[in-house]
Amino acid sequence: MPDTASQFPPVLSERRGAVALLTLNDPSRRNALSLPMREALYDLLAQAMADGAVRAIVISGAEGGFCAGGDLRSMEDVGPVAAQARLRSAHRLVRLIVGGEKPVIAAVEGDAAGAGLSLAAACDVVLAAETARFIAAFDKVGLMPDLGALWTVPARCGNSASRRLLLLGEVFDGREAARWGLADKVVAPGQALSEALAAAERLTAGAPLAIAAVKAVLARGPQALDVVLDGEADGQAVLFSSQDFAEGRQAFFEKRKPQFTGR
């Protein structure tokens, strides 16, 4: 039989005003993160990050799912050198989501398993349906968590919940994910995307330079207070001289909505 996944774009891209919506598009395989999908997602994310008209990005999955993990079919007979090169290539995606200037929101319906969990955890905001399932699953195939999960999951959940997820392989539904910080908000089934788009729309009204500065400091991860304070001082010093700060300050005194331009 032909590979039906190859007949369709692995990632769908559309614009909703200043929001870029990227949809993982292989529902027959529960949107497994194949190599073509991963490369397409990276390329589209990079385009959105570079597009001055885009203020926020939403990642979702097609037909009621998010991402079932990596594509195991492509992992046969991969030696250590090739495996390392493969993972270093995948790390570009994690670095772009975590370190990119624009906020990225995950809309999770269905399963976020393995690499799908890692992808969601790397996003700035995670909105999950009550019926969503977060599953590490790596140990089920003899692998360790990757795509940054050993950094992003502890940063979100703390040590205890991270061990439950990553070592014990417990499954967190949407409510438990929200309780432990893996998801930021739990919503009714079928509402994750609409809630994510609404949150992204709110973010588009924010000051782009300020949001980028916050992301830059947060991307450094848990660090000593002095390091974070130095990062605040560096970023805020630049923001104080920005046109957006002048506009935001003036709009505050004029009691109106600011019109930020990212300059």
Same domain, 137 and 241: no
In a domain, 261, yes or no: no
State the pLDDT at residue 227: 81
What CATH number is associated with residue 104? 3.90.226.10
Could you identify the residue written with the tokens 């905001």?
A: 125
Same domain, 231 and 165: no
Same domain, 138 and 244: no
CB of 147 within 8 A of CB of 140? no
Token pair, residue 83, equals 């495996």
Residues 96-115 pLDDT 10s: 999 999 999 999 999 999 99
Same domain, 126 and 246: no
Mean pLDDT per block of 10 residues along the chain (263 residues) reads: 59 98 96 95 98 97 96 78 83 94 98 96 98 91 88 93 93 97 98 98 96 93 78 81 88 90 91
What residue numbers bound the domain in which 123 lies? 4-204
Same domain, 92 and 171: yes
Give the end of a domain, one of 204, 219, 238. 204
Q: What is the DSSP letter of 171?
A: P
Alpha carbon distances (Å) from 190 to 1, 67, 70, 185: 32, 15, 24, 14
Token pair, residue 84, equals 């390392």
In a domain, 50, yes or no: yes
Taking alpha carbons only, the member of 188, 54, 159, 67 closest to residue 122 is 67
Residues 26-83 pLDDT 10s: 999 999 999 999 999 999 999 999 999 999 999 999 999 999 998 888 777 777 887 8
Give the end of a domain, one of 187, 204, 221. 204
Same domain, 12 and 40: yes
Alpha helices in 181-240 (DSSP H): 192-204, 208-218, 225-240
Q: What is the pTM of this model?
A: 0.92
Total domains in the fold of the chain: 2
- CA separation for the pair 189, 214 (Å, rounded): 31
Same domain, 142 and 184: yes
In a domain, 64, yes or no: yes
